[in-house]
Structure 1
């Protein structure tokens, strides 16, 4: 029959569905008993909170992992709840030994690439671009998080198909997942159909909590879907995440492009870098192979050129995303187009942009270097 150590080793493959770490590493396995006569295994698991929404998933995964062992006819999973002290230890462990919450992405040793997706005005498809970039990067093997910072017009949960809310472990928030993408939005804390009526200080505090109180883990990329314009949230992002880079989304329409220029030029005042411009709704492909420029043409290139001149650094046009019904349907249905296996022009452009952004290295500004002066 299996030994207790063999069972514990097997349980090392069971991940907490929200934290995405082995339950053994999180000290959730309270005890393991192997019946000397029958070989039946009983595992006692300590959940983070009473009424944990992932209780059934953990039970199923524990049973499956243990019952694969030779000599184990069955596994019984019992549940209890962590004590206050155990939860405190867990939070400290997840925060890298820090008892109090900090913004991990603003720390000098952070390797996470942070992109704030901005636009000058609403209706240009900024949230749809954000959702598809997140899905594409995740499919490319990156660990991705998304903050829906558009407090008044949140839509990321719908676009990524997130239907469950976050789990609160005292003052730590465990974000729900869309596949492997961690997602947080103010929409998860409000009643359906209710407006968010907040002013500047509350917006700043909400963003600060999303960054510090949410357990993000070890992310490769963090995407923030900003509200349109240059208001309070955009300023707070510059203050809280000085290393964040802007992605400016516009349409080909010159009127929209002129507004997008103002959103991008804010980087000059906040000392932020612009990673590039994405032109959305660029054209509509016709059955005869021609393109119909519904919103004109040249807006994305104009924004990129103008920002290059204003900022004195190269601001590339990263891609032009054509209009596709499937792209809109995917956003409405919570299934981003790039995650469906589609090889349509829009999906391929978004994957290319995601690949370009995902492979870029983080700058050295503000980071500690492992060197010492000689003399």
Structure 2
């Protein structure tokens, strides 16, 4: 069969570039100036190619009236970055400034720009030397389209376009994976210390499969006898690291249960002032104290339940949250000729059922 040639859409007989450019603007629901939009779709490599082709045909000085999209791409890139950072600061007021900038870097990356450009149908409209166009060319062309929309209409209309096509790329993404803290435990210690709260204390909630290849540990982190986060891991160190990340997600309000970004008809007031930085919550002596707002937020935290076999009666986990980090021990006892298991909170000895009843009522006898 050999290598098949990938035909351009413009190589078909019924191709009409003017009609395609006009239909492109109408599909987006925007009012573009036709000449500016054509400039946004013209890459500099296409102009160079046309100049060389005319010189080969004997034209010493080709008279080309086309203009590349370099200036429009630069203007569009600035609009995308400026609006995205102001929008995210307002939508995520507790997310640190480092995380906001990481999200903006992700949104303005060539991969995301190319994905958005291909999604709105720029592949067959771009005038460039190569086909199919490279991701860098598609991304640059999309930025030029944003610049062309700003030049054709208004800045506010262009910002709504950026919100609908660019910022929405964060839907379904884990913001904490795009911006990942290298040392979460150290960052959490700094935040709690600057907020006047106690040091984070990791406690083992339960473990399973110890000394096996399928070991799993569940660690909770407490501050001033208050539960602030938990995590799982195949080792205790991994579980502590995941618990610290979970606590930071709760502080920054970027958990899976957090409200989604406000899109649609909701009016978001852009925020020019930067969010509080994690570096501002460090406690070096040469820096003045900065009060951290994260740990001051009202967090409805609950101690996560253990496996069904290890759940205690009457919800003593909620009443005894400061002491929930102790391991649950089981003791098999025989009564009336039948074996039964009794679960004790933090006990290394066998307790009577009377003691368990006291624990269920919140008695002090269950505190070790």
With the shorter chain as reference, the TM-score category is under 0.3
Larger fraction in strand = 1
Structure ID, larger Rg: 2
Larger fraction in helix = 2
TM-score (norm 1): 0.24
